[in-house]
Chains A and B, each alone.
Chain A
Amino acid sequence: MDTLLVVRAAGEDPNPLVPHIAEIIVGLIAFGILYYFVAKFVVPRFEKSFAERTEAIEGGLAKAEVAQAEAAAALEQYQAQLADARGEAGQIREEARAQGAAILAEMRQQAQAESDRLVANAQSQIEAERAAAVASLHAEVGTLASQLAEKIVGESLSDDERQQRVIDRFIADLESQPSGQDA
């Protein structure tokens, strides 16, 4: 087998390191066509596509940044508005509370005045009624007593002045009695 290989290598087999000129020429032509196509078509197209994509990504990023800034500004604005509204609400609440308190105080005052007035009315009425009662009793008791006395004494106390004096003294005695009931 070894000898066979040697024989072949030395004899009929061509030397693989010796190029055919045709190989070089065909290689150059084939590669030249490919190179021309790649340089004129493939590279420009792909480069354009790459550049567009890069631009799109960068543009997208810039857009996103702007949107983010806008969103942050809007948020800030909303927060400020919210704080304003909150302050305003607090103020309104405070005012309402003060107003309520004022109304309440006024009402209370009015009620107090009304009640005072009613009490005073009642008192004066009672006083008047009492005075009337006292007066009527005064006259009635005087008459009754004088009639009684007239009957007992059998003597007419016609003298008005003396009669009145007696009645007054009688009533004064009644009033000054320590255990006497209220008129």
Chain B
Amino acid sequence: MLAEEGEGYTPPGSGDFKLPPIIENLEWFTKPYLMALISVVILVAFFYFAARKPTMVPSRLQFAGEGIYGFVRRDLARDIIGSKDFLKFLPLIFSLFIFIALNNVFGIIPFIQFPTMSLIGFPIALTLIVWVVYNWVGIRRQGPIGYFKNMMFPPGVPSWVYILLAPLELVSTVFVRPLTLSLRLFANMFAGHLLLIVFILGGEYMLLEGEGLVKVLSIGAFAMGIVMTFFELLVQVLQAYIFALLTALYIAGAMSEEH
């Protein structure tokens, strides 16, 4: 119905995630690349000033930095990996959390409004690191044979179950884990951004191109866009939390002999 007017309504699609290059002749360098780099600059600056001169009674900035750090340290690293070994992996888990959280929240920050992690290459990059780390930790801890043996043949199971269990565990740990880890993050950000585009660009189209009642109804679309923006904030932080949490769990699993 709407499509008949003028050039018509173009529904949002994956094409909306392909942005034009910022610098001419540098085809691949688009907004999300710049955002990923800017996020590092922001995080380094923030935590530099927060941790520069740590004092017994923290300043407001130090308090904020320590708040985030203390949360990741306590809830994600220490409680899952255990107080003996967590400190070695704390930088990784903390970096993952703040990097993903900020890049996700970019999706709703005005004028930026694009989640870096909705381009699957970024989640894949992070997943690669996690995958290498937890497998490497497992092999270091239990030896190459012990690692795969403990993974595929967990004790306490009737031996005939191993026929099914062994290949499942191998596939799950080595192939499915990284796949789901990166896809979960990517898909959440991709879908969330798409959702916001649908409501906001749809509302805009209704307001500009629609007639009468349709113009009025655009209010509903914008309202939903705003509601979904706040919902997205929750999802964005939650996904960063889940990614860091699963990283900690995978490392903890690789460290312990038993599954």
Contact = CB atoms under 8 A, between A and B. Distances in A.
Interface in B204-229: none
Given A1-B3, A34-B43, A46-B69, A20 B11 contact: no
A5 B11 contact: yes
A30 to B, nearest CB: 4
A26 B8 CA distance: 37
A56 B94 CA distance: 26
B109 interface: no
Given A28-B128, A28-B129, A22 B15 contact: no
Interface string A33-68: 111011101110111111011001000000000000
B44 interface: yes
B54 A27 contact: no
Interface in B185-220: 186, 190
A20 B116 CA distance: 13
A13 B15 contact: yes
A41 B48 contact: yes
B194 to A, nearest CB: 10
A33 B125 contact: no
A30 B94 CA distance: 15
User: For chain B, what secondary structure do more than half of its interface residues adopt (helix, strand, loop), or is it mixed?
Assistant: helix
User: For chain A, what secondary structure do more than half of its interface residues adopt (helix, strand, loop), or is it mixed?
Assistant: helix
B14 A16 contact: yes
A98 interface: no
B18 A14 contact: yes
A149 B36 CA distance: 170
Contacts of A18: 120
Interface of B: 2-3, 8-11, 13-15, 17-18, 28-29, 32-33, 36-37, 39-40, 43-44, 47-48, 50-52, 54-56, 58, 62, 65-66, 69-70, 73, 87, 90-92, 94-96, 98-99, 118-122, 124-126, 128-129, 186, 190
